[in-house]
Each structure stands twice: as C-alpha cells, then as structure tokens.
Amino acid sequence: MIYVLGSINYDISLELERMPKKGETLLADGCGTGLGGKGANQAVAIARLARKYDDGRRSVKMIGRVGNDAMGAELMQKLDDYGVDTEFVRKVNRSTGLAMVSVSGKDNRIVVYSGANLGFTKSDVDEALEHATSADTLLCQLEVPLYIVGYALRKARAIGMTTILNPAPAKELPDDFYYNVDIIVPNELETQELTGINPRDESSQLAAMEKLLEKGVRYAALTLGANGAAISDGEKVTGHIPARKVSVVDTTGAGDTFVGALALTYPHVGMYSFKEACLFATKAASLTVSRHGAAASIPTFEEVCELYNNEIK
C-alpha cells in the first residue's frame, strides 16, 4: 500500500495568450476546473498507473483534508472515481484549498490558498498509519504544515516504511527531515533551495545529488523539465535520463506524475530497478505535458506502455 500525505485543492485553470502585466486585465481564452493539489495529483497518478496491478483493489490511500463545502464534496467524489482510497480524507469546517493556475504556452503560474490543507493534526497521521507495515510506502510533499510532514516521516521510518519526499514548494528543511527520507525528488528550483547549487549541467547536478546524499537520503532524483532527470542511489546508479521530445501543451502536472509513477514502480511493482523506475516516471511525465489539466492529464500504465513499449522493459 502507498500512503500519500498531502494537499487536496480545487483547481481553476485559465488559458491565456500571454501573462498579464502589473495592473493589467486580460480575457482568458479558456477555463477549466478540477481536482488538484500536489498530494491529490500524486495519489491519482499512482491510482491510474496501478490499475494494471491492483486487480480492483485500491493501491493508494490519501491522507488529507477538504472543506465541508460543495468543492470538498466534488473533490472527494473525483478521488474516489480515480481509484484513490479516501478513508483518511477528513471534511472540516474550513474552506477547501483552492489553486488558480494561469497557463500561457509552456509557462504556468500558480497561486494557492491552502484552506483546509492547513488543518492537519498528528492524530490524522497516527490513525492513517496505524496498520501500515514495512512493505508500505509513505509519500509526502510540502503543501501541508511542515511539522506534520516531519512527524509523518519519523513515524513511517520507525515502522520501516519506504519514505519518499517531494520537497515542493521549495523551502528550507530541518536536518532531521533528510535522515527520515529514502528517496527525495526535487525539481531544479527546489534543488537549489536545498543545496545552494543550481543544477544547470552534469557536474552541478552530480554535486547537488552528492550533497543531498550527504544530508542523509538514500536516493535522489532531480527532475529537470525538458532536460529529463538526474538520478543517484549513492552507489551503483548515477547518471542522466533524457526527456522524450513531445509537443508541450501544459506542464502543470508533470512533476506530480513523475513522483507518483516513481512511488508506484520502486519498489512496489517489483520488476524495476531504481534507474528503470525513474525512466518509467520520465516517460509518464512526458505524456502528461502533452495534455491540459493536472489530475486529468495523468496517463494510465497501458498508455505509457503503448507509446514506449520498446523503451520500457
């Protein structure tokens, strides 16, 4: 089982010819609404990709909060429709999290109101992980209170679970976070925030990964957008995975797809090494950027394999 502790947002996405200047009002070319939030997007990625393996059983449990409002009810239903177990998603007397996403060409800009996502307590974590075992995984991001993420990682490590951290949005982390993380998956901006190194080329990427490993994590996967990913397990695998060239429509959910795909395929599917799991995740993300939306753009396992059958073993 994979447990995802994270945010659940109601996304409002606007398609723009260009981004507005200060004080300027623009008319949008299109508008869409739907499920979002890094936690929810990553849980959906796992659920959609896992359907090949779960035989109708739900492979991912979401630990989250929504408001006791119409948006919250809609998002709960969407999570359920996607195949995410919502047993540990709580409705609270606070507005559901909201994200305004502006998309212009390959550029996207996001403003988030956290709302119910800020209402987590340690008891939420305790209840959700009560029956977790060392065969399970905990996946976290940073759109919920930092002390809750730290508490969850420590508890998961004590159980013996595999722990994965997507340190987004970028922020400085306490040292003890790293010792409780097996796999860290930052993008370029987050890598620079955590290490002080801009991963602009192979040498700087290697230096950044070495610094993360020195801090205590076991594996690092730096997502580099159109440049693919740089990966290291500290021993056998250190290198670069190129991105597949595709026509980019919307980059909003690409990082979340990569993280969710990695969480599923390493170690759970069982046939993938860390490098192969990162390759699979890169291919899945390349499908996501060819579509509009966040959760709605995430591919299924069959879609990934249909396009890249000769590349994914």
Give the separation between CA 249 and CA 222, rounded to whole angstroms: 22
Contact yes or no for 89/119 (Cβ under 8 A): no
- The tokens describing 236, both together, are 């056998």
The residues that bridge with 163 in the sheet, in sequence order, are 138
Amino acid of residue 118: L
DSSP states along 38-67 = HHHHHHHHHHHHHTTTSTTS--EEEEEEEE
Q: Return the C-alpha torsion angle 267, 236, 284, 298, nearest 10.
A: 50
Give the separation between CA 103 and CA 110, rounded to whole angstroms: 9
Catalytically active residues are 256
Residue 142 backbone dihedrals phi, psi, to 5 degrees: -120, 30
The residues that bridge with 137 in the sheet, in sequence order, are 2, 162
Give the separation between CA 189 and CA 199, rounded to whole angstroms: 9
Query: 242 preceded by cis ω (within 30°)?
Result: no
Task: Measure CA 66 to chain center.
Answer: 18
Pairing relationship of beta strands 9-15 and 30-36 according to DSSP bridges: antiparallel
- The tokens describing 224, both together, are 């580099």
Longest dimension (CA), the chain: 53
